[in-house]
Amino acid sequence: MLTRAQSLKLQLYTFCFIFTLASLSAGAKTQKVMIFKPSAEEMQAIIAAGTEGGKAGALQYQKGEGIRLLMTGHSWVAPAKNSLPQIAEGAGFDDHRQRAHISGGGTGAANAIWLKEFGKYDGKPPRSILVPAIATGEWDVLTWGGYHKDKLEYFTQWIDLGLKHNPDMTFCKQDGWPRYDSKFKTMKSDEILKSMKTSYSAHRTTGQKEFFAAMEKKYPGKVRIIPAGAAVVDLIGRYYAGKVPDLDCIDEKSKGGKKGVYRDGGHLSRVSGAEWLVGYVYYGMLYKKSPQLIEGFTPKNVPPRLDKTMREVAWKAIIESPYSRIRDEDGDGVAD
């Protein structure tokens, strides 16, 4: 049983962690909190329009070996959006398909994207990228990026639409990771790591737990959480332990290094290749196989040693997560 002081401390850690997700980039707009329930006529009009069809790719694909993936999200989802197709192809899934509606900061939250699809965001015309695709019933998974002030309704509106057109569709919410805050500049590495682990653990045992339980009650077996945050925290721990020699700093902006975990204290580095970590987590979650099993593929400009570490970190985060629904008890790299 937690004491009052411990409870308040846990709430503070949780708030600080969630608040970092609300500040994904400087000046980013905050999420719209209104709920919009389209009428049958409004829904049909958006489905019929498909205004972004040509830009985002085909509206539907026949089922094959690859995953047919629809993605919403913000800049912390973008690394997976960009790297996952290459990873899947490297693993032999030439028919991996993606269609994404991504936008920065709060404008990429689950509800913001929903509003944009129907033209209910800042008075702008509809950007019907995902809703017409969902209506075909030819997509396997829909993913979101978590964000500050999220409500369950922001996700259930997507789930209800998806299951209406494809009862076998499943859904994943990507979590976030702690920022490298300015306060860390005067702290020792072990103190920084402890702070990050504590904030992530607090978020997992409160926000994630509540979200997963609510979804499991309403949609049994349909919703999972992508543990990108756990993977990032693990990589940071290995860096501080001197086990990731291909990185020369924790944060390129604040520490002046050239190859870090972060590029600006929040977003993962493109120069070092750390961004690929999120893609590997998505691959393991969706294909239920460890990226360590992929042969003959190394991302361009990513040191093989770092690539090997990120694959290991990604699978470890997945099989240790209580909300991934993936276990690998026999250690063969394939979900049990």
Q: What is the mean pLDDT of the chain?
A: 90
As given in the structure block, the two tokens for residue 219 are 């949609």
Amino acid identity for residue 36 in this structure = F
Which tokens hold the place of 87?
Answer: 């990873």
Q: How much is the average pLDDT of 45-69?
A: 84
Element (H, E) at 252: helix 252-255
Where exactly are the structural domains of the chain?
4-27+39-320
For residue 50, what pLDDT is reported? 75
pLDDT at 182: 87
Instruction: Tell me the per-residue pLDDT of 163-193, one tens digit each, with 9 for 90 and over.
Output: 999 999 999 999 999 999 888 989 999 999 9
User: pLDDT-based confidence at 29, cuts 50/70/90?
Assistant: low
**pLDDT of res. 36:** 93
* For residues 106-132, average pLDDT: 94
User: pLDDT digits over 185-240, tens only?
Assistant: 899 999 999 999 999 999 898 999 999 999 999 999 999 999 999 999 999 999 99
Question: Does residue 30 have a pLDDT over 80?
Answer: no
The domain made up of 4-27+39-320 is a member of CATH 3.40.50.620: no
**How far from 206 is each of 2, 211, 290, 322, CA to CA, in Å?**
13, 9, 28, 13
CA distances from residue 2 to 29, 58, 195 in whole angstroms, order as listed = 36, 52, 19
Q: Which of 210, 89, 88, 77 is nearest to 142 (CA)?
A: 77
For the chain, give the number of residues.
Answer: 336
Is the separation of the CB atoms in 175 and 49 below 8 Å? no
Over residues 310-336, the pLDDT tens digits come to 999 999 999 999 999 999 999 999 999
**pLDDT (0 to 100) of residue 8:** 40
Q: How far apart are CA 126 and CA 140, in angstroms?
A: 24
* Burial letters 168-189, b for 16+ CB under 10 A, else e: ebbbbbbbbbbbbbeebeeeee
CA 331 to chain centre: 25
3-state SS assignment for residue 334: strand
Residue 19 has pLDDT above 50, yes or no: no
Tens digits of residue pLDDT in 230-283: 999 999 999 999 999 999 999 999 877 899 999 999 999 999 999 999 999 999
pLDDT of residue 33: 67
Tell me the pTM.
0.90
pLDDT at 24 over 80: no
**pLDDT at residue 21 greater than cutoff 60:** no
Q: What is the rounded average pLDDT of the residues 138-154?
A: 94
Spatial distance between the Cα atoms of 117 and 129, rounded to a whole number of angstroms? 7
Give 9's pLDDT tier (boundaries 50, 70, 90). very low
